[in-house]
Amino acid sequence: MSYQDLQIDWLKSFVAVVDAGSLSNATTSVHRSQSAVSMQLKKLENAVGRKLLVRGSRHSELTTEGQMLLGYARRILDLHSEAQAAFHGEELVGQVKLGVPDDYAAKYLTPVLRNFAPRFGGVEIELNCEQSTSLIPRVENNDLDLALVSRDNPSRGTLLFHEPMVWVGASQFEIWRRETLPIAVYESASLARRSAIHSLALQGKPYKVVYNSSSLAGQIAAVESGLAIAVFTQCSVPPHLEILGEEQGLGPLEPMEVSVYRSKKSKGSPAVGYLHDLLVRTLRLSAV
């Protein structure tokens, strides 16, 4: 029995739709119109002889067969990218302006740069450590090429993983026992701040903002000193601080959608393109 080959472009469109959640959101990452993406998905479904996606008005859901194919598709595309890099990677030159929040830098960015830097010595990486609320507009304004961010909009970038959010305090102070809970927060646009206040509001728990800082170091200092408790990404919690929860009377927090976001201006840069793909491959495999 003969089988139809699975074209790389079909698989790219399929994975893009899954990651973006819908046809319309996937068009940017594959640089094709919505009708072209839809046609490629139909060709892929015809080739495998199975329905892969159930398309709703806003979101597309994987069928059982689609879930099975997704694993194969990612492996095929990863190997395809590695083969391209093996023959063309050493020619990469130029500069990549990369942004990342402090709390994601050590755990998630370090292994990616450890892989990239020794292989592509001709590429200069300019690293900018800021909050996602600052990085996102800089990517949109083409001031940065790439950013690893906590997104508040599903159309922004390629989703990599969900990062848990946790309440954090210093155990020796036990300030969570106070009738009015003192909290440290990030800037007003911060998703972490919104998540903290929303969780407390749902509980009807009295609180007071006693410390405000846009830096992770500042948040840690507020908690260490017993001034307040705070909300951190789980990956950034120092080992000497305590993760709090239901036992301390604190409700759950929504996880962060972590994505890699690329500027429109950088679409023609092979160096940016390779680092973008490496971020996707590495963090989808290794992150929580």
Domain positions in the chain are 8-85, 92-159+257-286, 165-254
Q: Which fold has domain 92-159+257-286?
A: D-Maltodextrin-Binding Protein; domain 2 (3.40.190)
Residues 236-245 pLDDT 10s: 999 999 999 9
The residues pairing with 233 across neighbouring beta strands, listed in sequence order, are 165
Residue 285 pLDDT more than 70? no
Q: What is the CATH number of domain 8-85?
A: 1.10.10.10
Count of positions (residues) in the chain? 288
Q: Which CATH class is domain 165-254?
A: alpha beta
Average pLDDT (211-216) is 92
Average pLDDT (146-172) is 93
Q: Do domains 92-159+257-286 and 165-254 have the same CATH topology?
A: yes
Read off the pTM.
0.70
Cα separation of the two ends of the chain = 41
The answer to whether residues 274 and 282 touch, using CB atoms and an 8 Å cutoff, is no
Residues 68-120 pLDDT 10s: 998 899 888 878 877 776 776 557 889 999 999 999 998 899 888 887 887 78
